[in-house]
Each structure stands twice: as structure tokens, then as C-alpha cells.
Structure 1
Amino acid sequence: MARVLIIGSGGAGLVSALSACEAGAEVVVASKTLPTRSQTSMAQGGMNAVLNSDDCISDHIEDTLRSSAGLGDEERIALLCEKAPEAVRWCNSIGLPFSRDEGGEIARRRLGGASAPRACYAQDYTGLKLLHTLYDQCLKAGIEFKNERFLLNLIVDETANRVLGATFLHIETGEVEEIRADSVILATGGYGALYGKHSTNSVQATGDGLAAAVRAGAKLADMEFIQFHPTALKGSSILISESARGAGGYLVDAQGDRFTDELAPRDVVARAIHDEINKSGAVYLDIRHLGEHFVDHELPQERKLAKIYEGIDPVNELIPIKPAAHYSMGGIEVNAACMSSVSGLFAVGECANHKTHGANRLGGNSLLELVVYGRECGKNATEYGDKSPAPACENPQLAKDTNFVRGVMYFTNQIDFYQKQEMLANIFYNNVGLVRDDMGLKAVLGAIRQMQKELPFMGPRDKSKICNTNLVEFIEFGNKIELAEIIVVSAISRVESRGAHYRIDAPQRNDRMFGAHTITWKEDGVLCADFIQ
């Protein structure tokens, strides 16, 4: 029986766990937080699928390809869209409480960039309800969970380029542990927390899995492509779901006039809002005309969030909004079987690049991707582990990471890394955000490399062993800096504008030079980058 280690307990990890369990594997899920606190809970809008004759799968494929701005892989997108109806039916069969239309069928709404209403939803809590449903099913299946485990590094047999497991800091005890496995699935989510208060993401979205993967020899792809959601609350960056616009909400300027197509692709809408804010000072989401009954039935979370975080009632008032960093299209490069360039190391969900989103994700495809590819990934990881069980060989990684954690406690605290973290978030939002240019990107790269030099002078103040969140946040900051360098180098290299990557010094798309994926990796600790078809 293959032993499959899944790192991350969000939607992608839980789908993979169920799939691996069904395939006969012994499954262990390790996560730095509790499963129900995953970022998946913030995916509110719905899950795309063609369910009736009023729509067709070829249109779903075309919408996804068009949104990807030339960087989506047509074969993988076709697989995603063709398996979408089955994915929705599977979610329905395990108990996801979809909203229903008047005929009792699964309700659907149109999201930005889609040619038809095909996003299947559960009010505006789709991701949250999916997450809870998946967790219930995992508990029923007897899957083992190891929570409060912060990923440090992957254990790799470098001679064979083969993963053997991973090391973790057990946050509760302060001990460094290892978990060996025949195959490993990274489902650790994205890196939106790099943008700090300018992101819709949880503070947990620090890219730990990607940083560990690149240190282990895996390649990353398209890291410069970070989607900004058009409608985050102005004061807090809390997400207001695209479902509000899909239901008929308007985007209006300071004078109350509409100024853009609310259901254009996200990159287009986000830049339109950015430009309008610079022009008139404010942009609002208007759902007043939808009526209180509709809002309370279809958009209850949006009303609640606006009340809590902005102190306004959207039934009667305009919602002040701004774009905020939301989704990471870039990630660990994987093949069609979801395996990275390191044998036995798989990746799925937002931390992976399945080449289905390209330069700009189509709204409603993130939950779909984690279900479709999660089911594939769990099955493939089990099959790999059955055919190629990991050897029980000695590996120095546990000792290295034990010494690393012990050594970090001797770092001085001359520089406050929390201040540097906030600085990084601000310069990323301003210079590696919706609008970029060469000068701004190179200034950020210089700041990042200075932070890398200063890291030994930024150690945690808390020197205790048990439940040391200060230590965890310091290591997370190290991962952020590592990924920040990769993102900025990728953005500097791509001298064109495509999807979510918009450069005012190169505003046109250039397929001849850049119609390829940005691939980054490390050799002897040195960052390398190239464009590969």
C-alpha cells in the first residue's frame, strides 16, 4: 500500500486525499493550520460547468483560452472543461449544498469573462461549503490529519532526484519532525500574503510549498502573473465576490456613473477600476437595485462583510471598493499527471501551475481546477507510490532543519522583520501590482536583495519553544523574500503586457518573443530563468 503525504488541507488537498484514499493509499494530511481555515473558504462565486443544452463545453474551453491570453494549454484546458460536469455532480453526490433554481436544478450564474451562466454556486459561500463538505468526507474515510505542522523542507534523494517525504516544525511542541512517504502532494495554496493588507488572501498564504519546492529542485512557472480581484473592500481588502456583479451589480464612479463592462475578464475590469480611482478618487459597487430580498437570499455574505468592515448596508448604500491581490496563476510546474520535475513530488491547486489559467484566470475555474486535478492528482500519486515505493535510506534533511531552527534562535533582532514585511507588501502593491515598469521592478528587486542580506539580523524576539508563532512568521517571511525575488525577476524578464502582467513601458502583447512560459529554478542556490514553450 502506497503512503501518500499531502501537505495542505484546503480544497485541493482534501480532494486529493479522498482520491488517494479511494485508490487504496494510506493517506496523511499535514497542515500548518486547521482544514476549515483554508483559503478555499474565500472562493465565493461558484464552480464552472456546462450542465444543459443552453451552453456548450466548447464555449467553456474558448472562454478559458481567451482569458489565459495565449498561455493556456489547450489540451489541459479541454480536460478541465470536459470533466467539469462530472466534477460538479461528484460534489453534489458528497453533499455540497448547491443553491437551486425554480426547477430544482443546480443554480448557475454568469461570472466575468464567461459567455454563459455556468458557475454552479451555493449562495455566496461556495468555497466554504465545499471545504466543510470535503472535510466531513475525509473524517468519515478515516484519513489521518496532522495539524499545526509548518512545512520546512522536502526530503529529497538528490542522486535519484526523488522525493522521500518532508520535514515540519510542530508548532505546538516546537519539535522538528519528519514524515516519510512514497509520494508527496503539495497543496499549500498561493502567495497572495506577499501583498499584506493589499490582498484578499489570508495571512497564511505565504507560499511555503513553492519555496520548499524550488529549494528541492523543482521548477516554477509564470510567477509574474498575479490576479487582482476588481472588487475588494476599500478599507480592508476583504473580498466582495464576483457573484455580486454576476447577479447584476454595477461599477460606478464618484459621480455614480457606470464606466466599464462589469463582466469583462478580471484583468480588464481591475485595471479600469485602478484608472478610475486615479482619475476621480473613488469607485463603488452598486447592488441597491437588486433589492433586499434578493441580496439576503443570494448574497448574504456580501451584505454582512460590507456592514462589518465598511459600516455600510449595501441594500441602501454604495460599497466602496478597490482592486486587491487575489490569486496566483504562477506555481510549481507540473506535467499532465500533476507531477513536478522532482520524481514523486506532485502539486495541485493554487500552488501548482497546470497551465489552465495562463496569464489570467477565468472566474469560476479555481474551485473547478482543484476538484478536477485534485481527483487526478490523488490517483496518480497513489499509482506512482505503488509502482515506486520510496527507499528507507538515510537523509540529512531532518538534522539540517533541526539545526536551522535551533540556529535561528541565535539570530539578533536588530531589525524588525515585521516592519520589513510591511514595506515589502507596500512596494509590491505599488510596483509589482496592476501596473508595472522596468524602473519600479528593478527598485523592488534591489530592496529584496538587501532584505536577503539583512535576514540574519531580523531574528524572532520570542525565544521560547512551545507555540512560537513569532518563529513561524519569521520563517514565513524568509519564504516570502525567496519567492519575491523570483516573481520580480520573472516580471522584469517579460517585457510585454499580457493578462494580469501589465507594463506601461511595454503595453502591447508580443507573441513572437514572449508567447511562452517563464520557467525559474535554482542551481547551487543561484536563481535561473528562461522562456520555454
Structure 2
Amino acid sequence: ACYSQDYTGLKILHTLYDTCLKEGIEFLDEHYFLNLITQPQDDPKLDPLIKGATVLEITSGEVKQLDAKSVIIATGGYASIYHGYTTNTFGTSGDGISAVIRAGGYISDIEFVQFHPTALKNSAILISESARGEGGYLLNSKGERFVDELQPRDVVARAIFAQIGNGEEVFLDVRHLGEEKLMELLPQEVHLCKLHEHIDPAKELIPIKPVAHYSMGGIDVKRTLEVRGIKGCFAVGECSNAKVHGANRLGGNSLLELVTFGKHAGENAVAYSLTADNRSSDDTQLSNDRNFINGVFHFTNQINFYEKRDFIGKIFYHNAGIVRNDSNLKAVLAAVRQIQKELPFMGIGDKSRQNNTNLIEFIEFGKK
């Protein structure tokens, strides 16, 4: 166990990365995951075997095949579908989860998305729960406290969402903690407020809104963390549904899940690989993915997919977000189906093969 102010996750990441460098573990930087490679077993009743993955080398634009006896998917969640209303990076678009679906694996509880109560209003940058844990208040435009700040995330997020729905602005107030204590306990949060909102939290209220933060659902896994439906493929972290969070994860438990199940998945993947079939797969998936990437360069690009990405983020947040009902969910479904029909008329404006961010973002959009 470890604790490091409001940097605990970052410190774990640094420690793991340093250990990988020390052990000489190879990183394939600037490679984008496309699809899993599987091979049917002789008995059609048995799950297909994992054989590797296809990736796009971003720097060259070349599609490659990576053969493997076992595979661990750790691609993160899918909360960036709430584009503009999420703490997640743009790339957290559920790529690993959708790849599992295409390969015949199972997913579960995909509707369980957690909304964090306190993100910066304009940038959706996360302000850690520790700000409330250290005594921060939530205030509306009238200066009133309207909820117990230490209630579970879903309760607090709904309370804030209701205030905003009633025309109120909502603020996090940590001024009473004093600058010295803020810099001792919450240095990262102070820096983020100054950088992204141009306010000093020691002297000013922090404007906030609740946004999508964590995906509890995901790839359905067994107790070994092997993906249900694909033999030799494992999933860990936010992309997997190991069923330890229920419908509402507690703060800090994602780190606990990673350090615990990461080791578990690694050990099981190694054990499986020791007895796995040594034969490599054919190049069918590689050929399909090369044809797809080549085809994208010839798509008509009549409809701007970036506008559709923004639209999806907005309609998901308002209709399939913190508060949901049947009619709103049906409206989202209808919108998604319409965009699926329009997808053949979308494409990319940048036709270069090397370092094409436009291409990566289009693939992320189209494969959500």
C-alpha cells in the first residue's frame, strides 16, 4: 500500500515504469491497437484461441501483426464517449472492449459508468475527492451548502446535477483551509485550478460540474481474469469487469484493483503461455486490417465526424448520464443508429500516412 498526497496513482505509475526499464521490458511506443487475432479450435464448441493482435504503427502508417501465446488487455475504459463531459483522455474510447466484441468475447454491465462530482467546469479536469475529504464545501450560486460532501460519489453527483438543472452554478470552496495547508495536502489540485481555470483556490471559489469518470462494466472475465469467450486472452483494469466495484466504485479502489489483479493477470497469462499451441495464426486479420486502413483514405468525408463526436458526448451526458429514463435512452439509441448510417459518408481530411492523428481519431470514433 502507498499514499502520496494527491499523486498516489501517478507515483504508482512511475514506480511500475521504472521497474519495467530496470527489467529491460520492451515498449512498442506509437503503436495503436486495432484487433485481436484468434484461431478456432477443432471442436467448435470450444472458445477460439488467442494468437496475437494487429496494430497500426503511427509513425509509418504500417499495419503490423504481433504474434503471441497469450495476451493481456489493459486498454482502459470507455468514458470518453461522453466527449466534453469526462475526466478521461480522448483515447479512452473502449478500443480494447470493442476489439473483444469483434473477436467473439463477452462484455457485461456496460451501463455502469461512474460520474465524478467535482471536475473543473470549463475543462472537465478532475479535482480529486481528497479536496472534499480534507474539508472542502460544495456551494451553489446563493452560497448555500446543499449536500453532505462526504456522501458516495453518485449521491453527490446527482445533487450537483440537480442544482445545475435548476439554473444554479456549483462551486467547490476550499478557501477556509488556507494556502499553506492546500499546498501541503492538495498541491496538484491547486496547480490544476490555476492552469485550467485561472483561479487561485486559496482565494476564489472553484467552479465545478459532475462528469463521466470511470467504467465499472467492461470485458467479462473469469476469476483468472481470462476473457470469457477467448482462450488465452486476459483483461485487467478499467477495461475489465472483474465485478469488484458493483455499480459505483469507491475512491482509490481502482488503484487497489490494478496492483492486485495486474499481478494476478500476469501470472495467469504466463502460466497459460507455457502450454499454449506454438503455431502462429495466418495473416487473415492482418490483411483485413490493412484493407480497412487503406480504404479509410478513400472515404468521401462528406460529414465531419468531429461534429458527430461532440454531439454524441452531449446527448450521452444529458440523456444517458447521471439521470436516465426510458424516453431519453431511446433518443440516444435513435441518434446512434442514425450516425451508424452516416458513417460511410465520414472520413479524414489528412491523407498523409505518417503520424496521422486524424486517422487515429477517426478509427476511435468509428469503432466505439
Which TM class, normalised by the smaller chain length?
A: over 0.9
Question: Is 1:401 matched with 2:297?
Answer: no
Name the aligned partner's letter for residue 336 of structure 2: I
Contact 2:115 2:154 in 1 (8 A): yes
Question: Is 1:125 matched with 2:3?
Answer: no
2:84 aligned counterpart, secondary structure = helix
Name the aligned partner's letter for residue 322 of structure 1: K
1:383 aligned counterpart, secondary structure = helix
Residue of structure 2 in register with 1:145 after alignment: 27
Name the aligned partner's letter for residue 398 of structure 1: L
Question: Is 1:163 matched with 2:50?
Answer: yes
Taking only aligned residues, the RMSD between alpha carbons, in angstroms, comes to 1.1
Name the aligned partner's letter for residue 179 of structure 1: L
**For 1:479 and 1:420, how far apart are their aligned partners in 2?**
14
Give 1:269's match in structure 2, choosing from 149, 152, 156. 156
Unaligned runs of 5+ in 2: 42-46
**For 2:288 and 2:207, how far apart are their aligned partners in 1?**
49
* TM-superposition CA deviations, 1:141-200 (whole Å, max 9, x none): 000110111111100103451110000010000000010111000000011111111111
* TM-superposition CA deviations, 1:100-155 (whole Å, max 9, x none): xxxxxxxxxxxxxxxxxxxx521111111211111011000000110111111100
**For 2:134 and 2:275, how far apart are their aligned partners in 1?**
49
Residue of structure 1 in register with 2:180 after alignment: 293
Give 1:195's match in structure 2, choosing from 82, 96, 116. 82
Give 1:281's match in structure 2, choosing from 159, 164, 168. 168
Q: CA deviation at 1:237?
A: 0.7
Contact 2:67 2:281 in 1 (8 A): no
2:13 aligned counterpart, secondary structure = helix
**For 1:398 and 1:322, how far apart are their aligned partners in 2?**
43
**For 2:74 and 2:180, how far apart are their aligned partners in 1?**
38
Q: CA deviation at 1:330?
A: 0.8
Residue of structure 1 in register with 2:222 after alignment: 335
Contact 2:38 2:281 in 1 (8 A): no
Q: CA deviation at 1:279?
A: 2.7
Q: Which structure 2 residues correspond to residues 4-153 of structure 1 after superposition, within 5 A? A: 88=1, 120-153=2-35
Residue of structure 2 in register with 1:446 after alignment: 334
Question: Is 1:425 matched with 2:313?
Answer: yes
**Normalised by the size of structure 1, how large is the TM-score?**
0.67
**For 1:280 and 1:172, how far apart are their aligned partners in 2?**
47
**Normalised by the size of structure 2, how large is the TM-score?**
0.96
**For 1:333 and 1:395, how far apart are their aligned partners in 2?**
27
Residue of structure 2 in register with 1:526 after alignment: none
Residue of structure 1 in register with 2:204 after alignment: 317
Residue of structure 2 in register with 1:386 after alignment: 274
**For 1:479 and 1:242, how far apart are their aligned partners in 2?**
32
**For 2:5 and 2:17, how far apart are their aligned partners in 1?**
20
Unaligned runs of 5+ in 1: 1-87, 89-119, 481-533
Residue of structure 2 in register with 1:36 after alignment: none
Contact 1:164 1:390 in 2 (8 A): no
**For 1:432 and 1:242, how far apart are their aligned partners in 2?**
24
**For 1:263 and 1:198, how far apart are their aligned partners in 2?**
22
Q: CA deviation at 1:283?
A: 1.3
1:470 aligned counterpart, secondary structure = helix
**For 1:315 and 1:249, how far apart are their aligned partners in 2?**
11
Per mean C-alpha deviation after superposition, the further-off stretch among 273-282 and 198-207 is 273-282
Give 1:373's match in structure 2, choosing from 261, 275, 287. 261
Q: CA deviation at 1:395?
A: 4.1
Contact 1:188 1:208 in 2 (8 A): yes
Contact 2:79 2:88 in 1 (8 A): yes
